[in-house]
Structure 1
Amino acid sequence: MLISKIPIRAWFATLALGCFGLVAIGMALQTMLHLAPCPLCIFQRLLYLVIGGVALLGFLWPRIRLAWAGLTGLLALLGGAVAGYQTWMQAFPELATECGYAEPNLIERLVDGLGMQWPGMFLATGFCTSRDWVFLGLSMANWSLLVFAGIVGYAIVFLGRKA
């Protein structure tokens, strides 16, 4: 099968470059279009960086490739849940409790701490229910949900391939 012919390191390198590239594109759009990311956007950005880092570890230490692939899949499931929640918030803003208006949750506290340390990368100044950027009818959260689903699929295919 064609999938088993792709070198293991190429799988991990592709995933790492893709995740880091998504973060770079997101930051470029934020700067050029003056977008204000919300805490959930920043948390998804963090998850892309962590998934990229795990994929980089898989590239460097491919002997435990199943552990790295499983971890990327689990992190992508978490990212999909966050992006799905933000998608729901954007679809039903009247039912959603906007980030920052209630007692800060774990994600908001983490993002606030990171934003104080690295404001250029992690400062959250936007609202989770706003759809400031739309491409082909989908918001940034919608696209992120699709990408996280793709990463989960990528991990499943990788886990199912023969060594």
Structure 2
Amino acid sequence: MLLKWIDRAPRRVLACVSAACVAMLGFGMYLQYGVGLEPCPMCIVQRYALIGVAIFSGLACARGGRRWWLPLAGLAAATAGLGAFVAARQSWLQWNPPETASCGRDFYGMIENFPISRAIPMILRGSGDCTAIDWTFLGGSIANWSFLCFTGLGLLLLTVLVRGLRGAGRRDLSPA
């Protein structure tokens, strides 16, 4: 049934992916401003990945021809993969915290004071903040749930891509 929906209306699927990302970003804002949790550097990277997936999939659903929405959906899938990687790394750090945990610099301090070639490894190395589990739902931390969401969105986007590439010769426009 899901595959039929993807074949029939891939741009609607992309719109749903974009809406899901916006909802997750809203939940993240609630956790930050409503509950009072401060995001660590890896959480901020995951937020940027969610913004990227939302923008790329939103643009993909807005464009009519396959030559537009297929590359944009590919960028959205790649961005979801990046988000899943960072969430998996943070989950691993939470399960296997380093011997010495230091708070380190914040995300923007790293980006402003170091070249990007040094800042990215520092972010992925994690800090003491990245190993903290401040919130759980059904036994999973925010990083665990983020990984599951990114993986689900990425698999859905890859399915849209594969199905779209298979049917590329049949028609150029997909129904909205």
- The TM-score bracket by the shorter chain reads 0.7 to 0.9
Partner of 1:39: 41
Match among 70, 74, 83 for residue 70 of structure 1: 74
TM-score of the two chains, using structure 1 as the length reference: 0.79
Indicate conservation of the 8 Å contact 2:41/2:107, yes or no: no
The SS at the match of 2:130 is coil
The SS at the match of 1:128 is helix
The SS at the match of 2:38 is coil
Cα distance in 2 for partners of 1:65, 1:49 equals: 17
1:17 CA displacement: 0.6
1:68 CA displacement: 1.4
TM-score of the two chains, using structure 2 as the length reference: 0.74
Partner of 1:94: 98
1:69 CA displacement: 1.6
1:74 CA displacement: 0.8
Partner of 1:61: 63
1:23 CA displacement: 0.2
Partner of 2:28: 26
The 5 A counterparts of 1:114-129 are 127-129=129-131
What is the aligned-residue identity percentage?
Answer: 34
Partner of 1:84: 88
List runs of 5+ in structure 1 lacking aligned partners: 111-125
Indicate conservation of the 8 Å contact 1:39/1:108, yes or no: no
1:138 CA displacement: 0.3
Match among 103, 109, 131 for residue 111 of structure 2: 109
Partner of 1:142: 144
Cα distance in 2 for partners of 1:144, 1:98 equals: 23
List runs of 5+ in structure 2 lacking aligned partners: 113-127, 169-176
Q: Considering only aligned residues, what root-mean-square deviation do their CA atoms show, in Å?
A: 2.6
Partner of 2:5: 3
1:105 CA displacement: 8.5
Which deviations, in whole Å up to 9, do the C-alpha atoms of 1:17-50 show, x marking residues without a partner?
Answer: 1101100011112222211110110110111011
Equivalenced residue count is 147
